[in-house]
Amino acid sequence: MNHFLSDPRFAGITPFENKIWLSSPTMHGDEQRWVDEAIRTNWVSTVGANINEVEKQIASNVGCRYAVGLSAGTAALHLAVRLAGEQLYGQARPNAGTLSGHRVFCSDMTFDATVNPVAYEDGEAVFIDTEYDTWNMDPRALEKAFELYPDTRLVVLAHLYGTPAKMDEIRAICKAHSALIVEDAAESLGATYKGQQTGTLGDYNCISFNGNKIITGSSGGMFLTDSKEDADKVRKWSTQSREAAPWYQHEELGYNYRMSNIVAGVVRGQIPYLDEHIVQKKAIYERYREGLRDLPISMNPYDVENSVPNFWLSCLLINPEAMCPQVRSDSEALYIHESGKSCPTEILEALAAFNAEGRPIWKPMHLQPIYRSHPFITASGTGRAQTNAYIPGASADVGADIFHRGLCLPSDNKMTPSEQDKVIEIIQRCFL
Ligand SMILES: *Cc1c(COP(=O)(O)O)cnc(C)c1O
């Protein structure tokens, strides 16, 4: 990769002394106080004041009745999907998955944690293609999926990179087909759709405090709901499903998914800074948009009229005519540079050569080896999982197209404007 350092196109640019991260945790000091207090008072396990406080604060900030602190966003998604399965299809055998073969329509271009819980519960994920407007689930493809599989009753939907999906359209379709929604707002805490916070837009809602999210607990997540019954059930399941008895009595499958009071201490210190992080992330997005405006690219889009993203990650999409040849296998990428053009692989390698971290777009689930045999539905009907060799113009598959032409830019909120300007300069020179 170091050939970039001797490439005349990059003359005069030196590597960053301190690595520029994609999105790293930003501590403010209060976290230490709440963690220390947990340790000082010996409330270091899965009960304590920090948990109570962060559940209260998040519920109030997001605008829901109950928030249940869990060990991860993935845990929240698992219990949300399990709850949905139980409510739709009745209680499973006590030691089995609740979806037992039922189809679930899922976002396709997302992190696999969104969709794996469907498999944990023995359901069959059917992947719904992405739309260019928000890079989220395409309502037209969802409509098509209901035409093909009208008995489906559950949709798992993510708001990618902090940008809300087209919820009115999606909710109307789900309502017409009596389907429930699990909302994965892991990346979008603080983002709003028509004035309402993500994390309140589904029937079961999940957020994450993973280390690279907009605020972090080092890890952790939450299940959000207005239903006391659902909140109680998730809390019980997350603490090994103990029944009221003098011994460990179990009538339901249990999990060790509860948030620790130490993790909650970090979250508690972070919550006051959520708005500040969003302001910083938005400034980064806008500086990229301005700085890259003369290039043949666009930024990750959002519905300016109806939604306010949290701008968690800034991404770019190279115009088709400005893509140099690029191919990817399951583990490697190759490209041939052409003057006036570039590709995600070249930009990511150039950024890495100068000590900055970008990332490919989430590789769509229908292209993942573990999910390749699952149905995949595009707006025009069924699409099959395609080969990795991407043929420009020949693909009706939006997710594969965005994966091919897009990338996540360094979006760390501690990156200074002058550091970002250098990132922008490196990207511009990739197109020379
Ligand atoms: C991070 C993330 C998750 C999982 O959250 P964890 O807290 O890491 O388990 C789920 N879905 C999406 C879209 C994510 O980005």
Domains of the chain: 2-25+274-430 (3.90.1150.10), 30-272 (3.40.640.10)
Q: What pLDDT, on the 0 to 100 scale, is given for residue 387?
A: 47
CB atoms inside a 10 Å sphere around CB 133: 14
Closest by alpha carbon to 261, among 44, 29, 67, 21? 44
Nearest ligand 1 atom to the CA of 72 is 7
Q: What pLDDT, on the 0 to 100 scale, is given for residue 381?
A: 74
Q: What pLDDT, on the 0 to 100 scale, is given for residue 92?
A: 75
* Predicted TM-score (pTM) of this structure: 0.96
Q: What is the chain's Cα-based Rg?
A: 22
Query: Is any ligand 1 atom within 6 A of the Cβ of residue 187?
Result: yes
Q: What pLDDT, on the 0 to 100 scale, is given for residue 127?
A: 97
Phi and psi of 380, rounded to 5°?
-95, 5
Which residue among 23, 108, 204, 208 is best mutated to probe the pocket of ligand 1, counting the most ligand atoms within 8 A of its Cβ?
Answer: 208
Q: Are 129 and 383 in contact (CB under 8 A)?
A: yes
SS (H, E, C) 386-408: CCCCCCCCCCCCHHHHHHHHEEE
Q: Are 116 and 158 in contact (CB under 8 A)?
A: no
What is the whole-number distance in angstroms between the Cα of residue 2 and the centre of ligand 1? 33
Query: Is any ligand 1 atom within 6 A of the Cβ of residue 216?
Result: no
Q: What pLDDT, on the 0 to 100 scale, is given for residue 94?
A: 76
Query: Is any ligand 1 atom within 6 A of the Cβ of residue 72?
Result: yes
The ranges of the chain with pLDDT < 50 are: 385-389
Query: Is any ligand 1 atom within 6 A of the Cβ of residue 257?
Result: no
What is the whole-number distance in angstroms between the Cα of residue 186 and the centre of ligand 1? 5
Cα–Cα dist 100/123, whole Å: 5
Nearest ligand 1 atom to the CA of 76 is 9
Which residue among 22, 110, 114, 361 is best mutated to probe the pocket of ligand 1, counting the most ligand atoms within 8 A of its Cβ?
Answer: 114
Query: Is any ligand 1 atom within 6 A of the Cβ of residue 210?
Result: yes
pLDDT tens, position by position, 158-212:
999 999 999 999 999 999 999 999 999 999 999 999 999 999 999 999 999 999 9
Which residue among 120, 160, 210 is best mutated to probe the pocket of ligand 1, counting the most ligand atoms within 8 A of its Cβ?
Answer: 210
What is the whole-number distance in angstroms between the Cα of residue 209 and the centre of ligand 1? 8
Q: What pLDDT, on the 0 to 100 scale, is given for residue 383?
A: 61
Query: Is any ligand 1 atom within 6 A of the Cβ of residue 184?
Result: yes
pLDDT tens, position by position, 254-313:
999 999 999 999 999 999 999 999 999 999 999 999 999 999 999 999 999 999 999 999
